[in-house]
Amino acid sequence: MSAPATADRFLGALRQEGLAVIEVGNWRTHNRNHMGPWGEVHGVMIHHTVTRGTAHTVAMCRDGYAGLPGPLCHGVIAKSGAVHLVGYGRANHAGLGDPDVLRAVIAETRLPRDDEATVDGNRHFYGFECENAGDGLDPWPAVQLEAIERVSAALCRLHRWGAGSVLGHLEWQPGKPDPLGFTMDAMRGRIAGRLGVPVPPPPPVPQMPVVDFSRLLEAARTDRFRPGTPVSYAGVRILETALVDEGLLSAPYSDGHYGWQTLAAYSRWQERLGYRGREPGQPADGIPGWSSAVQLGKRRAFALVA
């Protein structure tokens, strides 16, 4: 956390890191400061441009486009490794993002999943757009990846940050894919190596919940006929959570009891897949079949075992 560096110190830090820097027009005073505050700054955000051609990319990032005025970043990192400075101050690059992610960047701890868009990122991050088609196929030349590493390290040195203060747009704003084609964990590792500090640990691999199909089937066949709301198999709750996420079951009924509400919700899931009852006009029976349960698990991240 710190005040933004002056334009001169920003430029000097990049050049001291050994980068080829190209100054574009009045980059020092080209900004969106009239739209809101610039700073405190907390880190460096990396993007890809979804463009081809350096000249076109630099012009777009400087001037913006219909509905989004420039500058769209502070610097454009070309495939050649050159860094084109197009603006300095508030820039339209980060948009709204997750407050939990911001707190993790400030603390330089492992980034949580970004599932909110409520904090003004244009105020708090330096932004660099990287020339790339953004289709997962356009290659990232080694010299460009090294430039991303050097840019990030330069600003980390300037502000006495660690590699944990560098993030991708996809880690900040829900639904954003950039940068696509390399991982930010790998890039943070490179930056940490350049800074001579320990490499941040990779995020843990999430453990996928597992549902025992035979026990689920037994609960589906019997629970609703028992008095009260017995829970004969706790794994029912995993299935019910998936049904809630699909908009098929009200959250209060996600209780582990395969009752009539859960039966009706699963019937709606079966009908969404094209299943119907045995008689014309009859709804699906709401008793899980292997295929329908596997498809729900694929959508809602749980595994099914026989």
Q: What phi and psi, each to the nearest 5 degrees, are found at residue 76?
A: -105, 125
Into how many domains does the chain fold?
Answer: 2
Same domain? 64 vs 94: yes
Is residue 130 a part of any domain in this protein? yes
Q: What is the mean pLDDT of residues 76-82?
A: 97
Inter-residue contact 219 to 225 (CB < 8 Å)? no
Separation of alpha carbons 285 and 276, rounded Å: 8
Structure tokens that stand for 305 in this block: 């075992």
Query: Is residue 160, in this structure, part of any structural domain at all?
Result: yes
Q: Which of 86-90, 167-171, 271-275 has the lowest mean pLDDT?
A: 271-275
pLDDT of res. 10: 98
Percent of the chain with pLDDT over 90: 85
- Tokens encoding 95: 């948009």
Both 173 and 221 in one domain: the answer is no
Confidence check: pLDDT of 204 > 80: no
Give the residue numbers spanning the domain of 87: 7-195
Residue 222 lies in a domain: yes
Measured between alpha carbons, how far is 104 from 113 in angstroms, rounded to an integer?
11
pLDDT score, position 301: 86
**Residue 247: how many CB atoms within 10 A of its CB?**
9
According to the model, what pLDDT value does residue 85 have?
98
Q: Is 203 part of a structural domain of the chain? A: no
- Reference 125, options 97, 83, 146; nearest CA is 97
Q: Do 169 and 31 have their domain in common?
A: yes
User: Do 251 and 150 share a structural domain?
Assistant: no
CATH at 170: 3.40.80.10
Query: What is the pLDDT, as a whole number, of residue 203?
Result: 54
Domain boundary at 149, 170, 195, which?
Answer: 195
Give me the percent of the chain exceeding a pLDDT of 70: 96
Amino acid 146: pLDDT: 97
Q: Can you tell me the distance from the alpha carbon of 73 to that of 57, in angstroms, rounded to the nearest whole number? A: 11
pLDDT in tens, 256-273: 999 999 999 999 999 999
- A 10 A CB-CB count for 208 gives 10
Tell me if 186 is assigned to some domain: yes
The pLDDT value given to residue 207: 75
Q: Could you read off the pLDDT of 230-264 as tens digits, one per residue? A: 899 999 999 999 999 999 999 999 999 999 999 99
- The answer to whether the CB of 38 falls within 8 A of the CB of 4 is yes
Burial code of 249-288, b = ≥16 C-beta within 10 A, e = fewer? Answer: beeebbebbbbebbbbbbbbbbeeeeeeeeeeeeebbbeb
* Residue matched to tokens 């244009």: 122
201, part of any domain: no
In sign, the C-alpha dihedral spanning 276, 279, 283, 288 is negative
Q: What is the pLDDT of residue 31?
A: 98
10-20 burial: b if 16+ Cβ within 10 Å, else e: bbebbeebebe
Banded model confidence at residue 201, pLDDT cuts 50, 70, 90: low
Q: Tell me whether residue 79 is in a domain.
A: yes
149 and 240 fall within a common domain: no
Among 59, 88, 51, 54, smallest CA distance to 73 is for 88
Question: Which of 146, 164, 195 finishes a domain?
Answer: 195
pLDDT band at 277 (very low <50, low <70, confident <90, very high): confident
| One domain for residues 108 and 250 | no
Domain boundary among 163, 195, 227: 195
What is the pLDDT, as a whole number, of residue 206? 61
Q: Looking at the structure, do residues 230 and 153 belong to the same domain, yes or no?
A: no
* 173 plus 85 within the same structural domain: yes
43 and 122: one domain? yes
Same domain, 186 and 223: no
pTM beyond 0.75: the answer is: no
133 pLDDT higher than 60: yes
Residue 41 shares a structural domain with residue 173: yes
Domain contains 204:
no
Check whether 1 has a pLDDT greater than 70.
no
Q: Is the peptide bond before 139 cis (omega within 30 degrees of 0)?
A: no
Q: 58 near 24, Cβ under 8 Å? A: yes
Banded pLDDT at 129 (limits 50, 70, 90) = very high
Mean pLDDT over all residues of the chain? 93
Q: Are residues 143 and 80 in the same domain?
A: yes
For residues 122 and 62, the answer to whether their CB atoms sit within 8 Å is no
Alpha-carbon gap, residue 84 to 133, rounded angstroms:
18
Mean pLDDT of 219-225: 94
Task: Identify the weakest region by mean pLDDT among 36-40, 265-269, 278-282.
Answer: 278-282
